[in-house]
Amino acid sequence: MHAKLRLYIIVILMMGLGIGLILYKHFALGFPLSPDDKKSVWTIEAKIDFIARGDPVIVSFALPPQTPNTVFMEEDFASPDYGFSELTSPAGRRAQWSKRTASGPQTAYYRLSVYEMDPITGTVTSDLPSEPEKPEFDEVLKTAATTLLDQVRSKSANTEIFTRELISTLNSNAPSQNQRLLLNDQSSEDYKTHLIINLLALEGISARIVRGLYLKDGRRRQSLSNFVEVYIGGQWLLFNQDSGESGEPRNFLIWQRGDQSLLDVVGGRNSQISFSIIRNVHSTRNLVVRDGMNKQAGLVDFSIYSLPIEQQNAFKMILLLPIGALIVVIMRLLVGIRTSGTFMPILIALALIQTTLLTGIIIFLTVVGTGLLIRSYLSRLNLLFVARISAVIIVVIAIMASISIISNKLGLDQAMTVTFFPMIILAWTIERMSVLWEEDGPREVFIQGGGSLLTAVIAYLFMTNRTIEYLTFNFPELMLVNLALILILGQYTGYRLSELYRFHSLERRHVSGKR
Amino acid sequence: MFLASARKLRSFGIIGMNQRNFGLISRYNPRHLYPLVDDKLKTKLLAQKAGITVPKLLGTLQYQHDVKLLKGILSPYAQFVIKPVKGSGGKGILVITEHDHNLYFKPSGDAIQLADIERHVSNILSGLHSLGGKPDTVMIESLIQLDPVFSDYSYEGIPDLRIIVLRGYPIMAMLRLTTHASDGKANLHQGAVGVGIDMGTGSALHAVQYGESVSCHPDTRKTFPELVIPHWDKLLQLAAACYEMTGLGYLGVDIVLDRDQGPMIIELNARPGLSIQVANCAGLAPRVAVIEALKNVEPDLQLRVAFSKKQFAADSGIHPPRQQRTRIDDPDS
């Protein structure tokens, strides 16, 4: 009883650890549970053009802030012959290119690859706003502003509705006198943004400008769009200044917050900035692994991913073996299928993976069948046992070579995969089956041979399942769960399925005996 | 219906393979004692020391080059049995009943030559029949003479009695009768007939072949109700004594009756199979429960046997007498 309790504790610990690690990797590191999970990776290129005047040049360019929901895969800065540095200040990151003298048209590039993570709830960046400065309007404008604000205030119940109402009033198709006065016919984006912020400030509401980029595949010569971010109820809320919609739109990258300039060029003129955007689709797993390696996250850094690709591929296969072992345990302990050699089916299944199912089975049956024929002749030659099994190995190799050559001549390329079958195992199988045939008759040979093949095919089907292959390789901690399952199965003392058949006549006799 | 319901089997007390491995073998049989029964030579010596009759050892062969000596060893004997010392499940046993010049005859009447026997011996030495394929030793024993009691119930072979002994108490018994289908071997899965034996009296209860009830021997057509095993008490005591001899708590004892020398132990098994339940049409579990309920093992052999005979007799209260009813209901009897 004591030992049993200990075993259950171990099993529960292993299950907990295994499943816990899987959940951690899935939710915290973002490993997808399905191999088909894909993500869009946006490559954004900012091109800065200006004409230098022959003086020292400093180009300062605002870089997008990193947020928990976006992952920056790669950032490149390129500009010939310029010195480059990246500056980080509380206001945000900036890139700075500099050169002693430059003249004529100049170009600088900034390239960013970025993808979005699944939003993680509860991580709202709430930097506190400063007290809104009362804007200075001249008398006429101030009157217009106050009238407009009164009008909007009367229609709204809280700050959020107020902001939305204000924006839609300013954007209305039939503007009143006041609105036209405020908008001043200057329909530039920046003017409107500042107007909204100023009006909100008059009302005592903190707001700031946000510039961002709509991510759409194949766009060129894009510019940043302006948004208004308003501090409501302890957090910042983004408003579209054209429609009044709140919340961050889909596929939108926030480039800059606050009123710093996007681009400063000292020693140049006619500076221009344009963005182009390309979308690529990548498997989520690859992105996450790459990100983990970059960040040196312990679980990723100390894992199979840190091995060379060749070893990784070997492990892909090795990590499937526990699944095969589990199948064998289930087939033998729960179903009660007899196999020749305990784990021979797994080795056959591994060979089947290389050869594909049908070809593999045909090859297996051909090799074993031919081997049995030749082996029955060998048994008449009166050989010592070790010599005979060695002879069988050579026979197996000869059969395999002939299958390869003949199938090649016939143009059947598939059958050439015969070399993937483990020769020694095949030889042992032939030897065992042959002895079994002599001692227990062909029936037993078919039972055990069929049982082995059935187990191998089931193991094959599981081991070639894309999802299982993906999960075993990317979540090696599944092995702990697998081990726990096998430990539990090792405690199973109930009947095997085959025993329900073996003893079924007993049941009938008991019934007839009672009648 | 091809499958029995697990619930019903459990209510009959049938023990499955997993239960046997887990609850009986690994609980009662310490692994270090296995060699005593897996090595038939050791068993034989042990039994002789304990004063138990065993078939006479005619010779052993340990190395491949000894195969040359085979002819010399065999020449004085007309009848003998060749066995692998570490064989299991009756594998690799060669029985020769007649020897005429260069020809040796198997019980089936097939003639083989010395070279065939030499190859068989060489196979055994190489470990073909031993557990794990380890090199093995060959032993040659005198042939057991069929007791006339069984002459009507066996075909080309010697029947043997399997008694399951738990903690020194015999709990279930089965007689295995050779048939034409089993090629003179007493192996149930090869077609031998298994006859459940009443622990109280030694008389036949019920018989099966290939898991199905039979009412008479398939070759001799002799019906079973008349079959009563002689020296029943002696046989039970012999089996029970193997507990002290080996220390194994869950043991299958194989006994044969020799015409001249009486009961002999031919083999002990630390992993006895479960077909005995089919032959007896009864589960082991209730009997195991009776023995496990005992606080300590009675040191006196006779008392143990008496206890078993009383507890596990077919008409005892613990086991409803359904086996007897089955026997009476048999249409052929």
Q: What pLDDT is recorded for position B35?
A: 85
C-beta atoms of A440 and B23 within 8 A: no
Nearest CA to CA, how far is A493 from chain B (Å)?
Answer: 4
Residues pairing with B170 in the sheet: B165
The DSSP element (H or E) to which A283 belongs, if any, is: strand A268-283
Quick check: B106 and B97 in contact, CB under 8 A? yes
Roughly how many angstroms between the first and final C-alpha of chain A, as a whole number? 41
Residues 217-236 of B with CB under 8 A from A: none
Q: What pLDDT is recorded for position A125?
A: 56
**Could you tell me which chain B residue has the CA closest to the CA of A386?**
B126
C-beta atoms of A512 and B329 within 8 A: yes
Quick check: A51 and A269 in contact, CB under 8 A? yes
SS (H, E, C) A70-91: EEEEEEEEECCCCEEEEEEECC
Domain B56-142 listed as CATH 3.30.1490: yes
User: What CA–CA distance (Å, rounded) separates A180 from A168?
Assistant: 14
Amino acid at site A391: A
Tokens matching residue A367: 């090799």
Residue ranges in B127-221 assigned as alpha helix (H): none
- From edge to edge, which strands make up the β-sheet containing B250-258? B212-214, B204-209, B193-197, B169-177, B160-166, B250-258, B262-269
User: What CA–CA distance (Å, rounded) separates A350 from A339?
Assistant: 16
pLDDT tens for the 515 residues of chain A, in order: 577 889 899 999 999 999 999 998 888 877 888 888 888 888 899 888 888 888 888 888 888 887 777 888 888 888 878 888 888 887 788 888 888 888 888 888 888 888 887 655 444 555 677 777 777 777 777 888 888 888 888 888 888 888 888 888 888 777 777 777 777 766 677 788 888 888 888 888 888 888 888 888 888 888 888 888 888 877 888 888 888 788 888 888 888 888 788 888 888 888 888 899 888 888 888 777 777 777 766 666 677 777 888 888 888 888 999 999 999 999 999 998 888 778 888 988 988 888 888 888 988 898 899 999 988 888 777 677 788 888 888 988 998 888 888 888 888 777 777 777 888 888 888 888 887 887 777 888 888 889 999 999 999 999 999 899 889 988 888 999 999 999 999 888 888 888 888 888 777 766 554 43
User: What CA–CA distance (Å, rounded) separates A248 from A244?
Assistant: 12
Residues pairing with A457 in the sheet: none
Domain with CATH 3.30.1490 in chain B: 56-142
Q: Which residue has the tokens 């003249």?
A: A103
The shortest CB-CB distance from A494 to any of B6, B323, B329 is to B6
Q: What pLDDT is recorded for position B170?
A: 94
Nearest CA to CA, how far is B18 from chain A (Å)?
Answer: 5
- Parts of chain B with a pLDDT under 70: 1, 89, 131-133, 316-333
Q: What pLDDT is recorded for position A298?
A: 67
Quick check: A87 and A47 in contact, CB under 8 A? no
Tokens matching residue B182: 């089993």
Q: How many residues does chain A have?
A: 515
Q: What pLDDT is recorded for position A432?
A: 82
User: What CA–CA distance (Å, rounded) separates B74 from A363?
Assistant: 46
CA angle B64/B66/B71 to nearest 5° reads 125
The DSSP element (H or E) to which A299 belongs, if any, is: helix A298-301
The shortest CB-CB distance from A336 to any of B6, B17, B128 is to B17
pTM of the model: 0.72
Tokens matching residue A395: 């026979």
Q: What pLDDT is recorded for position B329?
A: 35
Mutate to test the interface with B, among A439, A491, A498 (most CBs of B within 10 A): A439
The number of C-beta contacts closer than 8 angstroms across A and B is 102
- What are the residue boundaries of the structural domains of chain A, listed by start? 38-126+214-237+252-296, 131-205, 313-475
User: What CA–CA distance (Å, rounded) separates B221 from B154?
Assistant: 10
CATH of B6-41+147-329, one of 1.10.760.10, 1.10.10.10, 3.40.50.2020, 3.30.470.20: 3.30.470.20
Tokens matching residue A503: 């003893």
Architecture of domain A38-126+214-237+252-296: Sandwich (2.60)
Mutate to test the interface with A, among B2, B10, B17 (most CBs of A within 10 A): B17
**Could you tell me which chain A residue has the CA closest to the CA of B182?**
A440
Q: What pLDDT is recorded for position A297?
A: 67
User: What CA–CA distance (Å, rounded) separates B83 from A216?
Assistant: 83
**Contacts of B3 by beta carbon, 8 Å cutoff, 6+ apart:** A497, A500, A501, A504
Domain with CATH 3.30.470.20 in chain B: 6-41+147-329
Nearest CA to CA, how far is A363 from chain B (Å)?
Answer: 27
Torsion of CA A430, A431, A434, A436, to 10 degrees: -110
Identify the CA nearest to A77 among candidates A100, A61, A56. Answer: A61
Strand A263-266 to strand A235-240: parallel, antiparallel, or no bridges (unpaired)?
unpaired
Q: What pLDDT is recorded for position A480?
A: 93
User: What CA–CA distance (Å, rounded) separates B309 from B200?
Assistant: 4
User: What CA–CA distance (Å, rounded) separates B168 from B237?
Assistant: 10
Q: What pLDDT is recorded for position A17?
A: 93
Identify the CA nearest to B112 among candidates B92, B97, B126, B130. Answer: B97
